[in-house]
Structure 1
Amino acid sequence: MKNYTLLLLFAFICCKSESKPSNNLNGLSETDPVETVDSVNEEESIIVLTQKTYAATQKDKNGDFTQKLSVSWLSEDTIQYTLVFENQYCKKTTIGGKATALKPGKEPFMNSYKGASFEVKKYQENKQGYKIVLHIDSANKDKAAVNLSLTEDGENEGCKPSSIVMVAQN
C-alpha cells in the first residue's frame, strides 16, 4: 500500500509539472503593449480591431439612391469593406474586398461635409473593371465617402455608388 501511495504521489507530481503554465509568452515581455480587440472573425482567423457601418439615402428629383458601407479594420492600414448600393441605373449591387491605406504614415487628406473640413485616411483597392477609394474620417471614424472609378468601358456607367459623405450608424 505504501508503494501504491508513493506511485500515485509521483504520478501526480509529474502530471502537475507538465501542465504548469509557462512564463514564456511567445517572445513577448511583460512590458509589451496589449491591443484591445473588439471581435474576432473565427472563420478566417482575422482579428478585427474596429467595425463601423455608414449609410446615405437620397430621394429627390435628381434621382434616388441608397448606399451602405460596412468597414472592419484589420490593422491601422488595412480594412475589409462591403459596399451595398442601389440607384436609378441599377438594382441592389454589392461589392467588397480588402483595401490598403494610401500613403500610410503621411499627412492625412482633407474632405468636407456640410461646410466643415475634416481629415481623412484614404484606402484603395484595384479590381478588374474599377478602382475604389474609401475616404474615412481619421479622427473619429464617423464619416466616410466612396470614390469608384471605372477602369474599363462598361454598358452601364451610371451604375456606381455616389461619392456623397455617409455618416456612421449607431
Structure 2
Amino acid sequence: MAKTQSRKKRNRAKEKETNWQERVVQIRRVSKVVKGGKKLSFRAIVVVGNEKGQVGVGVGKAADVIGAVRKGVADAKKQLIEVPLTKSNSITHVINGAAGGARVFMRPAAPGTGVIAGGAVRTVLELAGVKNILAKQLGSNSPLNNARAAIDALETLRAFSEVAKERGITLEQIYA
C-alpha cells in the first residue's frame, strides 16, 4: 500500500512539473426546460496545454461557472494529444482538419512569423507550443467545432523521422 501511495505522489509531482496552462475559450449560459420551468446551467469550452507539444480541448457543464471550468479542464486533460514540432516551433507540413461544419487549414511558416490564426484555433496552437504558423478557419464559426477541427488537424500531423521509420528508409531519402 505504501508503494502505491508514493507512486501517486510522484504522478502528482509530475503533473505539477509539466506546468499546464488552461484558457477558457467560451462560457455560455444554457437552459433546459423541465417540469417546473427552466433550469439554467453554464457550458465552458476549455483548452489545456503545456506549450511543449501537448494540447487538449474539453467541455464542462455545471450549475456555476467555476464548476463548469473545472469539469472542462478535467475533460481536456483526458483528451490530450501529442504534437510534433520542428526546431523553429512550427508544424512539419500542410494539414487540414474538420469537426462538424468547421474546417481548419494549417500551413507551416518561417521563423519570426508568429501565430496567424483566429479565435479558438489560435488558442489551441498557442497552448500546443506552435510559434510560427498560418491557419485559416473555414465553414462554421463555432468555437467548439473550430477548436476540435484544430485538434483533428494536429492529430494527423507526423514528423519526417516517424514517416521514414514507417517506410524503412533514411531521412535523407525522404528529402531527395
Would you say same fold, with TM above 0.5? Answer: no
Higher RCO (C-alpha 8 Å, min separation 6): 2
Give the structure with the larger strand fraction: 1
Task: Report the structure number with the largest CA radius of gyration.
Answer: 1
Give the structure with the larger helix fraction: 2
